Amino acid sequence: MSPGYVKSDASVGARMELWQGGLKMLAQAPINGWGGGKSGTEYINWYQNLNDGRRYAGMVNGYLLVAAERGLPALYVLLFPFAFLISAGLSLPPRAFRLAVGGALGLLSFLISNFFSSLLVFKVFWWTMAALSAFPLFYLLKAGLNCAIRSFAFAVFACSAFCAVGYIAALQFCDGQIRKFSGFVRIQSDEKANPDRKIAVFVDKSVLGEYCGKTLRHAVALSAGNISVDVFRDGDYRELLNEVAGYDIVILCGNRASLSDDDVLQKSKIALLNPVGIPKTGRNRPLCSYLPGLDVFNQTEIWRRHFEKFNLKYRLIEYSSQQISAEELAKILDNDWGGLKKPL
């Protein structure tokens, strides 16, 4: 395969970008990962090119998939039995233990195939691997304790070296503009400079779309200022509210508007973005609120009356539906939060 073909083949190029994104994900969460079954979605959210609209379910690489989703300790535990049985099978005399050697070679071919596929996640292949493992394991019992000790030592070394090389490679692609913390992900417009403004966003897919992280990355890229955006998505929002101290503004999207009544936010600067639900009087008054100009579900009218009744500031986003675009969101991130009654 010529270098020119590799460069021109879109599928190969997309796979290379996907693997680079997987390494960046590994660099940010080497111990716990990003969550089971979420590697494709998280790659799209945080690392996919903003102009790329392709969808991925995983990493198309079994090792990157496990490491990115579950962390390097999980990958180590997964690979250890393979390394142990392959070492045991290949260390036995071929003529006397042909089935053991054949089973070890079968396991080795399975591991090699996972560099270009994600067969590790398919249970049907695990039954096949279990059958192949039976041969080297059976003959290992006959070979004695010394063979088992050598195979164990090799497995420890091989798995440690593989995970170490993977993590070192991941660090070479580490992206400082995206940082993962416990409970939230941080987007920085400039990774080297301190941000002029720190913003917290509690997301709702009805406002930011299915891939809220990608929408926010796009908005930060379009933003004129040097800002830092912490994105709160999953988990117990009531517990995450304890993390909002020190932000210049806290944006509550969609149905997260109900969090504005929480006591933890009493001294925070709150902005509501396309709020959903029934307004409550509450002790906490938002500094400013943004409502979609295209009122499909009559939510804008309900919230507008509420804001005017209590003399609260709001702005209409003209020609915008419940789901906001990155361009409109960038204007909000750059806003001075004055909250005038005029459209953006």
* C-alpha to C-alpha distance for 293 and 280, rounded to whole angstroms: 22
From CA 32, how far away is CA 39, in angstroms rounded?
Answer: 13
Among the ranges given (6-15, 220-229, 320-329), the one the predictor scored with the smallest mean pLDDT: 6-15
Closest CA to 311 of 341, 335, 336, 333: 341
Q: What is the side-by-side strand order in the sheet with 314-317?
A: 178-181, 184-188, 227-232, 197-202, 249-253, 270-273, 288-292, 314-317
Q: Among 54-63, 84-93, 158-167, which stretch is predicted with the lowest mean pLDDT?
A: 84-93
Measure CA 65 to chain center: 12
Q: Is the pLDDT of residue 86 over 90?
A: no
Answer for the pair 230, 244: CB distance below 8 angstroms, yes or no.
no
Cβ(291)–Cβ(328) below 8 Å:
no
For range 166-176, the mean pLDDT = 91
DSSP 248: S
Burial of 252 (C-beta count, 10 Å sphere; 0-12/13-18/19+): buried
Q: What is the pLDDT of residues 91-138, one digit of tens each?
A: 766 655 667 677 778 888 888 988 988 887 777 777 777 777 776 777
Of 141 and 174, the structure prediction assigns the larger pLDDT to 174
Task: Indicate the pTM of the whole model.
Answer: 0.86
Exposure string for 203-215, b = 16+ CB within 10 A, e = fewer: bbebbbbebbbbb
pLDDT mean across residues, the chain: 83
| pLDDT at site 269 | 81
CA-based torsion, 331, 332, 337, 342: positive or negative = positive
Dihedral (C-alpha) 257, 217, 180, 231: value to the nearest 10 degrees? Answer: -10
315: helix, coil or strand? Answer: strand
Q: What is the pLDDT of residue 231?
A: 93
Q: Where are the domains of the chain?
A: 1-174, 178-333
pLDDT of 279 strictly over 60: yes
Query: If you compute the radius of gyration of the chain from its CA atoms, what whole number of angstroms results?
Result: 26
Q: How confident is the model at residue 196 (pLDDT cuts 50, 70, 90)?
A: confident
Q: What are the tens digits of pLDDT across the range 225-273?
A: 889 999 998 765 555 666 666 788 889 999 888 887 776 666 568 899 9
**Distance of CA 253 to CAs 127, 205, 259, Å?**
46, 9, 10
Lowest mean pLDDT among 16-30, 44-58, 85-99, 172-186: 85-99
Q: SS3 for 314?
A: strand
Crossing angle for the helix pair 72-91 and 98-113, to the nearest 10 degrees: 150
So what's the pLDDT on residue 10?
52
Residue 125: both structure tokens together: 């292949």
Percent of the chain with pLDDT over 70: 83
Residue type, 6: V
Q: What is the pLDDT of residue 76?
A: 95
% residues pLDDT > 90 (the chain): 35
- The CATH class of 178-333 is alpha beta
Q: pLDDT tens-digit profile of 293-316?
A: 887 778 888 898 888 888 888 888
